[in-house]
Chains A and B, each alone.
Chain A
Amino acid sequence: QQQVKQSPQSLIVQKGGISIINCAYENTAFDYFPWYQQFPGKGPALLIAIRPDVSEKKEGRFTISFNKSAKQFSLHIMDSQPGDSATYFCAGYSGGGADGLTFGKGTHLIIQP
């Protein structure tokens, strides 16, 4: 599987601040880019996802920005809350194929109260 590079590895943000996580991909066949949130001991849960035909998608406090030419996308969490403290994974996926998701290495986010 080709890589999805994710940064930073860990992030500490004050309550009410903006959390930003970045990802870059290699596989140009990817046409679906989801972000997952995972709490310890639980399976990942879909947070928000984007297709490459749009440059931005917003759902509540969560926004994905997508730059197709740079092959980069990012997650912005506005008004970050302590309950947002979790590990976040970006991923790439080719919906027309039969392969699974290719995940980034994850970002451990801590929101300080």
Chain B
Amino acid sequence: GAVVSQHPSRVICKSGTSVKIECRSLDFQATTMFWYRQFPKQSLMLMATSNEGSKATYEQGVEKDKFLINHASLTLSTLTVTSAHPEDSSFYICSARDYGTSSYEQYFGPGTRLTVT
């Protein structure tokens, strides 16, 4: 199956700093990627839909100015957590769908563990 990678796998940053997380589709083109957030022992919650060449669509309650998403190419989407605070500490996971096939399968990255101190 298709592979989605994320970098970094884990990051620790100080309160008030910004952190960038990369999501790459390695062997397919992804016009749309999705960003999810998962708190400990909870489910995945969709944060935003990232569209190549256009603005991201954010879910209700997600601050677009805090979570900046850039989908500059067909294989790369980035999520930047700006002015991070301890409550932003979470597991961030991206997914992508290969719209070049008829499959509805979404491929998930391995996740990025963000800890804000």
A-to-B contact residues, CB < 8 Å: 1, 31-32, 34, 36, 41-46, 49, 51, 89, 93, 95, 98-106, 108
Interface SS majority for chain A: loop
At the interface with chain A, which of B12-20, B36-44, B67-75, B78-86? B36-44
- Are B93 and A44 in contact (CB-based, < 8 A)? yes
**In the complex, which residues of chain B have a beta carbon less than 8 angstroms from the beta carbon of A93?**
104, 106
Q: How far is the CA of A102 from the CA of B106 in the complex (A)?
A: 12
CB-nearest residue of chain B relative to A108?
A: B41
- The bracket for how many chain B residues form the interface is 20 to 34
A89 to chain B, nearest CB (A): 6
CB-nearest residue of chain B relative to A102?
A: B46
**In the complex, which residues of chain A have a beta carbon less than 8 angstroms from the beta carbon of B104?**
31-32, 49, 51, 93, 95
Q: How far is the CA of A98 from the CA of B105 in the complex (A)?
A: 13
- Are A103 and B59 in contact (CB-based, < 8 A)? no
Most chain A CB atoms below 10 A, which of B44, B45, B51, B110? B44
**In the complex, which residues of chain A have a beta carbon less than 8 angstroms from the beta carbon of B59?**
1
